[in-house]
Structures are given as C-alpha cells and as structure tokens.
C-alpha cells in the first residue's frame, strides 16, 4: 500500500486527515496487529444489535410516543442518540453490514452491492442466492473484522453472515432456514425472537463474550411485502423493543450491564414502492443484449454473449456493466469484458451496425430513475438527474462540488450546503454536517467511496422514491441515496457514554468506537463523539 492509497483508505474508513497521527500503522503495509486478551481494557464488553430496515422517522415517532420503553430506558436515557446517522451507499443489507464489523465503507470492502460483476477475477455474485456463503471471502483480508482483532477472546456472531473471525457463529436453525427458503412469511415474525433467545443461551454459560453481534432481520423482510409502515411492521418494532429488554436483562443477570457498550443500529431504511422500472427491459429496449441474471449461467463465460449486465440491490439501486464489441472466432461478434468503459464510450455506445447511443442521456430521462452516476476520471465522478449535472472531485478526505444547469442533488437550494459550493475543497465531515437536512445527506462522500470498488459498475443508477428497478412485486425498497433509505437510527449506551444527542455520525464510526472503548491501541478510524 503506497502513501496515496493509505490516505484514501483513511479517508473512507471514517477517519479524517487530522487522525492520521494515531493511525500510522496503516502506512507500514497494513500489517495485521495481534492482540491478546490481557492487552484489552479489563471488564469492558461490547454488544451490537442490528435491526434490519427500521426507518429512522418511524423509530423516532415510536420513541416519542412511548412505544419503545425498553430502548428508551436502557439505551436512550443512559446514552447518546444520533440525530442524523447515515448508513452506506448502497443502503442495502450486505454492503451496509460490513462497516459495522470492518470499519470500512463498501467501496474499500470491494462490495458495491448485493449483486456485482468482477472483471479482474472473472466472477459474478448474487448474495440473494447460495452465493451468500462466499460473502466472508469476498471482502479483502486486510480489512480486519472486530472478531479478528479480538482473536483469543470469545466473540459471538448471531445470525449475521459477516462472521469472519468470530469464535462462535450461531446460524439460523436448519428448520427455520427451510421455512425461510420456502417463502413461509410467518417464520419472519419470529426471527428476531430467535436471535434474542440465542443471545441468552450464549451468555448463559461459559466465558463472557468480549463482543457480540445480534442481527434482527424481520422488519426489512416483511416490509418488502407489506410496506414500511404496515401494522405488521409496527408490531415487529414493538417486538424488537421487548427483545432489547431481554438482552439487557441478560447483561444484568451476568453482572455486565454497567460494563458493556451497547449500540442499537440499523443498516438502512425503506421507502414504499408503487411503480416498477425493470432495468433489464429498459436496457434491452435500447438495443442491448443483457445477461439474464448473475447465477443461472455458465459462470463468467456467459457474459461474452452479451454486452450488458446489471446487479440490482434493495431494488432501488443498480450497478450497470457494459462491454465494447470485439471480433470473435471465425469473424463472429463477441464482447470485451476485460476492462471498464470510459465516459466517452458510455456516451457513444454501439448497438449494431453504425448506430450508437448515449447510455447516460437515455437513462437520465427514464421516468423511474432518480440519479445516474459515472466516473469521469480518477477522483472525479459525474452525477446526472433528468435536468442537471453535478461533478464531485476528491482530494483525499476533502471534496469539491459543482454543477451545470440544475443541481441534481439539490444542495444549491439548501442554505447550509449551498455555502460550500464555492469552488473550493471542504472536508467530508463538513459536507456531511452541511447536507444533513437535505434529500441526500452525506451524498458526496457516499458516492465517491462507492466508485473506489473495482467491482463497481460502469454506471450506477438509483430509483426515484416510489419506484424500484426490478419488479418482484415489492411494496417497499431501499438501496439509494434518498434520505429515508440512508438515514438510520443509532443509539449507543454504556460506561463513559454521554447522555444526550450528537448531530451526525456514520455507521462506519461504530467500529472504531468499540475499539476505543475496549482499549485497542492505535485503533483504526474515527470514533463517534459519544464518550465523556
């Protein structure tokens, strides 16, 4: 790792340039650091409760209405509530889980979506299938998980698929998994309770886990089929509160209540979906040959019979991949999947004979598409809406934004963010603070980090609220930069944590917060400002 790569890595772990002094180990080839239990702070433990798909606005409404009494008593009243916490782009299960455990954004985890194409390694992934078992091997070994850092101690991963290095992995019971795979909806009403029960059993005997991660997936799954504010979602949220009470009682019974840093976090929100734009059909309408899917094919070789592929995540986000024409065997037409296409090629793409189309120009005019993104050059990404074009330029952890015609992100119409559109570079946290109330909070940082992934598409598109990009008859979707999908609840409580609120945080900040609390020296990243 050279100095520039190290600086960029720091910029996209949640660290600022001002934190580099305490992170100098990263400049020494990022050697893996080994810690023994005796080196950790004594009598300090950690628990993360991830409630999948719990909308921030719904969380706040229920909290204010007294419908989440355990969360209020054990977490909010004892700790710090983040006013605007943002997840990751894409805001979807999988990529958005990794920052909690690795402290690195999806771009540097090389996990740009639930479905992706890897040209370098000739690989295709769809984590909504059995490809899910490959997840732990697909992000870089140099991105050490909390479990790996805490090796030699007992660590527990409950139900989550990001489990690399955990000393104890508790999977969904086989019988339950069967009902999940066969579409039994009733089982999802019980899943979060199963997770809380597994936590109780893990803490019921044996050595005390130094760190545990509990995934409660029910709200997200059920919201796709019922809507994000349906009665069944409100019931599941009330169940989550009961399960939090159960987890906190377990900690009390083991004498850990005042020794444990507990965070309740969420990976993404959702918006309700009424209309569908099948992105594969859209590309075929333009004259492209699009790979049917990323699983039922002859591995990577099937791509060579097509000049396009798409990977949809959360149904509001899609990575689009394209290949230039080349002459195949016996003068047959084939496609070059060995390289990414440049901006010029995307804006003049051959579709047969001498005909060429502007892919970006066509996509930005589609009724159901919100934003279209593509890399212009290294550290410069263009963002298009129907009527506007923005330019994001990056200099390590600082960003500059400009636009032509109309501002596609709407920052020019907001007093705080408009102040930063002055032709200069500003720190990513300054941009976050200024955009926290806009439709795309933290948008510049989120977009820039995604394009660091070698597996990122040539073009990235997001759906307008109310639309999705793959018709599975879902009633709610996520994955985009839109506020309701990116803004998530986050509350942290435990020894030394301030009572009250802080204005902003990213979910990627949770990882260094635990490292700091547990006494890891020279921890990676920038911890949330929750400690007294």
pLDDT tens digits for 203-217?
998 899 999 999 999
* Domain end among 465, 482, 499: 482
> What is the count of structural domains for the chain?
2
State whether 215 and 302 are in the same domain: no
User: What's the rounded mean pLDDT across residues 170-178?
Assistant: 73
State whether 248 and 309 are in the same domain: no
Q: Give the structural domain span for 204.
A: 32-84+92-104+143-269+487-518
- Tell whether 509 is covered by a domain: yes
State whether 197 and 50 are in the same domain: yes
Phi, psi of 335 (to 5 degrees): -130, 145
User: Is 376's pLDDT higher than 90?
Assistant: yes
State whether 194 and 306 are in the same domain: no
pLDDT for 298 equals 60
pLDDT in tens, 412-456: 999 999 999 999 999 999 999 999 999 999 999 999 999 999 999
pLDDT range class, residue 472, cuts 50, 70, 90: confident
Torsion sign over Cα 476, 477, 482, 485: positive
Torsion sign over Cα 70, 73, 75, 80: positive
pLDDT for 30 equals 36
More confident residue, 39 or 468: 468
State whether 79 and 207 are in the same domain: yes
State whether 260 and 286 are in the same domain: no
- Tell whether 523 is covered by a domain: no
Cα–Cα distance between 169 and 155 in angstroms, integer?
Answer: 8
State whether 458 and 402 are in the same domain: yes
**Does the global pTM surpass 0.85?**
yes
- Tell whether 331 is covered by a domain: yes
State whether 387 and 445 are in the same domain: yes
- Tell whether 418 is covered by a domain: yes
Q: Which residues, 6 or more positions from 320, have their beta carbon under 8 angstroms from its beta carbon? A: 279, 283, 308, 309, 310, 359, 457, 458, 459, 460, 461
- Tell whether 409 is covered by a domain: yes
In this structure, what CATH number is given to the domain that contains residue 238?
Answer: 3.40.720.10
pLDDT for 363 equals 98
State whether 365 and 234 are in the same domain: no
- Tell whether 240 is covered by a domain: yes
pLDDT in tens, 489-525: 999 999 999 999 999 999 999 999 999 999 987 776 7
State whether 260 and 289 are in the same domain: no
Sequential DSSP letters for 178-189: HHHHTT-SGGGG
- Tell whether 527 is covered by a domain: no
State whether 312 and 442 are in the same domain: yes
User: What's the rounded mean pLDDT across residues 289-304?
Assistant: 80
Element (H, E) at 319: strand 317-322
- Tell whether 40 is covered by a domain: yes
State whether 422 and 511 are in the same domain: no
Phi, psi of 161 (to 5 degrees): -90, -10
């Amino acid at each position: 790792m050279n100095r520039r790569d190290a600086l960029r890595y720091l910029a996209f772990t949640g660290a600022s340039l001002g934190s580099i002094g305490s992170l100098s180990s990263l400049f020494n080839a990022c050697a893996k650091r080994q810690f023994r239990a005796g080196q950790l702070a004594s009598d300090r433990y950690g628990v993360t409760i991830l409630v999948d798909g719990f909308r921030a606005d719904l969380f706040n409404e229920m909290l204010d209405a007294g419908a989440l009494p355990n969360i209020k008593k054990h977490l909010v009243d004892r700790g710090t509530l983040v006013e605007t916490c943002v997840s990751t782009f894409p805001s979807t299960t999988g990529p958005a889980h990794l920052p909690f455990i690795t402290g690195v954004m999806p771009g540097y985890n090389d996990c740009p979506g639930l479905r992706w194409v890897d040209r370098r390694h000739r690989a295709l992934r769809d984590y909504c299938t059995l490809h899910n078992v490959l997840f732990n091997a697909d992000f870089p070994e140099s991105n050490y998980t909390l479990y790996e850092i805490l090796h030699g101690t007992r660590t527990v991963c409950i139900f989550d698929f990001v489990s690399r290095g955990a000393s104890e992995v508790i999977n969904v019971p086989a019988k339950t998994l069967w009902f999940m795979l066969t579409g039994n909806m009733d089982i999802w009403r019980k899943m979060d309770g199963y997770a809380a029960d597994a936590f109780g059993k893990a803490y019921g005997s044996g050595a005390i886990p130094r760190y545990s991660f509990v995934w409660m997936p029910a709200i997200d799954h059920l919201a796709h089929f019922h809507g994000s504010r349906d009665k069944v979602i409100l019931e599941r949220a009330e169940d989550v509160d009961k399960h939090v009470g159960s987890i906190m009682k377990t900690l009390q019974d083991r004498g850990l209540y005042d020794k444990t840093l507990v965070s309740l976090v969420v990976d993404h929100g959702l918006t309700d979906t009424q209309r569908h734009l099948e992105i594969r059909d859209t590309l075929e309408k333009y004259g492209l040959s699009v790979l049917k899917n990323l699983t039922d094919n002859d591995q990577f070789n099937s791509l060579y019979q097509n000049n396009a592929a798409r990977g949809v995540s959360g149904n509001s986000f899609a990575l689009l991949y394209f290949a230039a024409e080349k002459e195949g065997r016996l003068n047959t037409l084939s496609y070059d999947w060995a390289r990414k296409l440049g901006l010029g090629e995307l804006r003049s793409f051959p579709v047969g004979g001498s005909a060429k189309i502007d892919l970006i120009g066509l996509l930005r005019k589609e009724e159901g598409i919100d934003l279209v993104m593509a890399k212009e050059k290294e550290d410069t990404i263009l963002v298009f809406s129907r009527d506007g074009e923005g330019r994001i330029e990056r200099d390590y952890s600082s960003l500059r934004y400009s636009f032509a015609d109309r501002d596609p992100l709407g920052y020019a119409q907001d007093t705080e963010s408009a102040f930063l559109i002055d032709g200069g570079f500003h720190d990513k946290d300054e941009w976050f603070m200024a955009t926290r109330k806009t439709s795309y909070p933290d948008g510049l940082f989120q977009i820039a980090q995604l394009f660091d992934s070698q597996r990122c598409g040539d073009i990235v598109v997001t759906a307008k609220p109310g639309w999705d990009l793959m018709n599975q008859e879902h009633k709610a979707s996520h994955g985009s930069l839109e506020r309701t999908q990116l803004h998530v609840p986050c509350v942290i409580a435990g020894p030394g944590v301030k009572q009250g609120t802080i204005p902003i945080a990213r979910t990627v900040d949770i990882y260094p917060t635990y490292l700091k609390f547990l006494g890891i020296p020279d921890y990676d990243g920038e911890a949330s400002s929750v400690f007294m």
